[in-house]
Amino acid sequence: MEESGGGGAIFGTMFLLVWLAVVVLVIAGFWKTFAKAGKPGWASIIPIYNLIVLLEIAGRPIWWIILLCVPLVNFVILILVAIDIAKAFGKGTGFGLGLAFLGPIFYPILGFGSAQFVGSPQH
């Protein structure tokens, strides 16, 4: 007689709970980053609008949203915006690359850390 194991269900439930905790942490970090920059935190969870607000924080023109729709160009634009966001909070290029490539880790660090918004970089 074969017993039906509940190990898979327990593993799946635990994985789901950890994943949800990570998602909540990332959203909260993104929300706090927006709030530190003087923008409404809720804007961080609205698709497309959050990109427009990120462009404002980075000091880049709003029309760059069009460049984010162009394949391959969008990667370069996102990296430039992430570096500008880091600079707007007094961080360096390395932190900006962290925002670009490891955003789920670096946005909570930026949002909950001691970094303060110093203003958009001048271009």
- pLDDT given for residue 112 in this prediction: 96
Report whether pLDDT(1) > 90: no
Residues 6+ apart with CB under 8 A from 107: 26, 29, 30, 33, 99
The residue-averaged pLDDT of 4-11 equals 77
Q: Check if the beta carbon of residue 96 is closer than 8 Å to that of residue 82.
A: yes
pTM (2 decimals)?
A: 0.86
Percent of the chain with pLDDT over 70: 93
Q: Check if the beta carbon of residue 41 is closer than 8 Å to that of residue 51.
A: no
Taking the CB of residue 116, how many other CB atoms lie within 10 A of it?
9
Give the closest residue to 44 by CA, choosing from 57, 60, 33.
Answer: 33
